[in-house]
Structure 1
Amino acid sequence: MLIESLTTEGITPETSRPEHVVEGDPVHTTWNLDDDRGLFCGIWQSTPGAWRATYAEWEYIHVHHGHAVLEGDDGTRTAIGPGDSLVLRPGWSGIWRVSETLRKDYVILLR
């Protein structure tokens, strides 16, 4: 399809747990709509918890529901919630701290 709605319907979800958990027992669920030569897009959800992450990729995020704080190793703190959109660029590292189950759309570009 050349135009497709971003929805969880008809997509088999993948469930995982982050490798570097620092708090709680977060569960990640991903509905990956597209995977094309380093470009990925879909819907991602995490239950509450915190984990360390390092980005080698570029990611656009739009939050549908839930809340989190991204605590950068550089001391920055970015709170995100419903309606927020942001870009995480290669080189960002820190802690994702989800306080309320968060669901987001994502577009990831591997470089």
Structure 2
Amino acid sequence: MPLHTRLNRDGIPPEISRPDPAKLISGDPLHSTWNFEDRDGLYCGLWHSTIGAWRVAYDEWEYFHILEGRSQLTDADGQTITLNPGDSHIIRPGFRGIWTVLEPTLKDYVIRV
């Protein structure tokens, strides 16, 4: 295994998923995930979602960087931030809220459980 990996989804089939129907708020979002690293509780890759909204509950720590599209993240208190290309964020364990994809969104991520 090389000691460096470029995150490139070309020619690699993604894992396809949808939000749990019990958490779905609107739309029919389709998630495509290219997980390039999966070891010792560390995950790293690319994630894409089509338009929709669903409830989220984080038990893990996540860093992400928005590459394309536009989404919103609303916390349990109703505070909303808009996520645009170039934005980087950290979500800490315990975050509860709503992820809304306004325009199909691509992000890279690092998750630690």
TM over 0.5, shorter chain: yes
Residues 1:7 and 2:8 are matched in the alignment: yes
Query: Aligned to 1:38, which of 28, 36, 41?
Result: 41
CA distance in 2, matches of 1:18, 1:68: 15
Q: Shift of the alpha carbon at 1:9? A: 2.8
Cα deviation for residue 50 of structure 1 reads 0.1
Q: Which residue of 1 aligns with 2:53?
A: 50
Aligned residue pairs total 110
For residues 7 and 56 of structure 1, what CA distance do their matches in structure 2 show?
27
Q: 4+ runs of 1 displaced by more than 2 Å?
A: 9-12
2:16 partner amino acid? T
> Aligned partners of 1:8 and 1:14: how far apart in 2?
11
Could you tell me which runs of 5 or more consecutive residues in structure 2 were left unpaired when the two chains were aligned: none
1:60 aligns with 2:91: no
Alpha-carbon distance in 2 for matches of 1:43, 1:78: 21
**TM (normalized to structure 2)?**
0.94
Residue segments in structure 1 that go unaligned for 5+ positions in a row: none
Aligned identity (percent) is 50
Amino acid of the structure 1 residue aligned with 2:19:
P
Distance in structure 2 (CA, Å) of the matches to 1:31 and 1:40 = 10
Q: Report the Cα offset of residue 77 of structure 1.
A: 0.8
Q: TM-score w.r.t. structure 1 length?
A: 0.96
Q: CA RMSD in A?
A: 0.9
Is the contact made by 1:11 and 1:32 (CA closer than 8 Å) also made in structure 2?
no
TM-fit CA distance, 1:74: 1.9
Contact preservation (8 Å) 1:67, 1:99:
yes
| CA drift at 1:10 | 4.6
CA distance in 1, matches of 2:94, 2:14: 28
Amino acid at match of 2:84: G
Counterpart residue type for residue 40 of structure 2: R
